[in-house]
C-alpha cells in the first residue's frame, strides 16, 4: 500500500463530502490530528476504523487500501490497483501459514509427548496449504508474481521445510536403545547418523526447491540470497552474482554433505571410545595405551579403525570432489560470462 496515495485519496473524498478534518474526526471518533496524519501520508487508518471510514465516504475498504476507486472503472485502468490488492492478499495468506508452520515446528522440536506427534504433521500441512493458497491463484488467476516475490516465497519454504526435516529426525528413533552408565544418559545407536541424514536431505530439499523456483520464476531466479549492499559493492555485481548463484548453491550443498559425513565419523568414533574411556579413563585412552599392552592396543585399534578410515575417506572424498567442483565451476562460470558487447568491451 502507498500511504501517500491513500492519504491524497482520503483528502479528496473528504472535500467531496464537504467535511472539514474536525467534522470527519468527530464522526469517526478520532482526533483531527489522526485524520490529518492519514491525509498527509504519515500513517494508514487502523483496521478497526477502516469500515466506518469507508461508510462515511461512500467507498469500499478495498478502494481506500488501493488509494483509488476501483468499482466501475474500466478493466485496463483497474488492473494495477487490483493486482496490488491480490498480491497483498496472497502474501498475507502465505505469511500467516508460514508463521504458524514455524511455530508448530518449533513446538514439535522439543519432543513433548503426544503434543509433538500432532504438531509436526499439522506444521507440514499448514506450510503447504499456505503455498497452495499463494501459488494456485498466481498460476491460474489474473495476477502474476515477479521474480523477487517467488524467491521470497521459496526461501521461506526452504527455512520452514529445513526446520520440519530436523524436527522429524528428532522425533524418530534410529537403532537400538543404548544405556550409558558413565554419562548417565539414554540414547539410540543410530542417532549419530542423523547429522548426515539431515545434511543429505537438506541438499535434496535445496535442489528440489531450486528447480521448482526456476520453473516458476525463470532461469534468473535462485534460492541464494545476496544483500543489496553487497551487490552494489561489487563491480558489475548484479550481473556476476546473477550468473553465479547456481554455482554458489552447489558449493553450499557440497559443504553441507561433507560436514554431515565428518560429524558422523566423529560421533561414531566417540561411541567406539566410550566403553574404553569408562574402563580405563579418558586421559589414558586419549594419550594412548602403553606399548606393553599389546592385546588391548590391538583391540582398541580394531574398534576405532573403521571410523578413522571413514574420517580419512571423508577428507579424501572432500579433496577429490572439491577438485571436480572447481573444474565444473570454471566451465560453468565461463559459459555464464556475458558477450563482450554486454561487458562494454571493444
Question: Per-residue pLDDT tens for 216-247?
Answer: 877 777 777 655 555 444 444 445 555 566 67
Chain position carrying cell 535434496: 204
For residue 213, how many C-alpha atoms fall within 13 Å in the half-sphere facing its CB?
A: 25
Burial environment of residue 124 by CB neighbours within 10 A (0 to 12, 13 to 18, 19 or more): buried
Report pLDDT digits (tens) over 22-39. 888 888 888 888 888 888
241 HSE (CA, 13 A, CB side): 17
Q: What is the pLDDT of residue 180?
A: 62
Distance CA 117, CA 105 (A): 11
According to the model, what pLDDT value does residue 74 have? 43
- pLDDT of residue 161 exceeding 90, the answer is yes
Q: What is the pTM of this model?
A: 0.52
Please tell me the least confidently modeled range out of 56-65, 73-82, 100-109.
Answer: 73-82
- Written as nine digits, the cell of 36 is 490529518
Closest CA to 16 of 62, 57, 67, 53: 57
Segment 275-287, tens digit of pLDDT? 777 777 777 777 7
- A 10 A CB-CB count for 153 gives 24
16 in the Ramachandran plot: left (φ > 0), alpha (ψ -120 to 50) or beta? Answer: alpha
Amino acid at each position: 500500500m502507498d500511504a501517500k496515495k491513500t492519504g491524497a485519496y482520503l483528502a479528496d473524498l473528504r472535500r467531496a463530502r464537504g467535511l472539514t478534518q474536525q467534522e470527519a474526526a468527530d464522526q469517526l471518533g478520532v482526533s483531527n490530528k489522526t485524520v490529518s496524519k492519514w491525509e498527509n501520508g504519515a500513517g494508514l487508518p487502523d483496521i478497526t476504523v477502516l469500515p466506518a471510514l469507508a461508510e462515511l465516504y461512500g467507498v469500499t475498504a478495498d478502494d481506500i487500501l488501493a488509494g483509488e476507486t476501483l468499482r466501475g472503472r474500466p478493466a485496463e485502468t483497474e488492473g494495477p490497483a487490483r493486482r496490488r490488492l491480490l498480491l497483498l492478499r496472497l502474501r498475507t495468506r502465505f505469511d500467516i501459514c508460514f508463521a504458524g508452520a514455524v511455530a508448530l515446528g518449533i513446538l514439535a522440536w522439543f519432543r513433548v509427548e503426544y503434543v509433538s506427534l500432532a504438531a509436526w504433521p499439522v506444521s507440514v500441512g499448514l506450510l503447504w496449504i499456505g503455498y497452495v493458497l499463494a501459488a494456485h491463484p498466481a498460476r491460474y488467476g489474473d495476477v502474476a508474481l515477479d521474480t523477487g516475490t517467488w524467491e521470497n516465497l521459496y526461501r521461506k519454504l526452504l527455512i520452514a521445510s529445513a526446520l520440519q526435516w530436523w524436527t522429524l529426525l528428532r522425533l524418530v528413533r534410529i537403532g537400538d536403545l543404548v544405556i550409558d552408565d558413565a554419562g548417565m544418559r539414554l540414547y539410540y545407536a543410530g542417532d549419530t547418523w542423523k547429522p548426515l541424514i539431515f545434511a543429505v536431505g537438506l541438499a535434496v530439499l535445496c535442489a528440489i526447491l531450486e528447480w521448482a523456483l526456476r520453473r516458476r520464476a525463470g532461469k534468473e531466479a535462485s534460492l541464494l540470497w545476496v544483500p543489496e549492499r553487497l551487490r552494489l559493492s561489487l563491480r558489475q555485481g548484479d550481473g556476476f552474482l546473477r550468473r553465479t548463484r547456481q554455482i554458489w548453491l552447489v558449493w553450499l550443498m557440497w559443504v553441507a554433505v561433507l560436514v554431515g559425513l565428518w560429524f558422523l565419523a566423529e560421533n561414531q568414533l566417540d561411541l567406539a571410545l566410550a566403553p574404553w574411556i569408562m574402563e580405563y579413563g579418558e586421559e589414558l585412552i586419549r594419550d594412548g595405551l602403553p606399548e606393553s599392552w599389546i592385546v588391548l592396543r590391538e583391540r582398541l585399534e580394531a574398534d576405532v579403525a573403521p571410523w578413522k578410515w571413514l574420517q580419512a575417506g571423508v577428507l579424501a572424498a572432500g579433496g577429490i570432489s572439491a577438485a571436480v567442483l572447481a573444474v565444473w565451476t570454471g566451465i560453468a562460470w565461463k559459459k555464464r560470462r556475458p558477450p563482450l558487447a554486454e561487458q562494454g568491451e571493444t
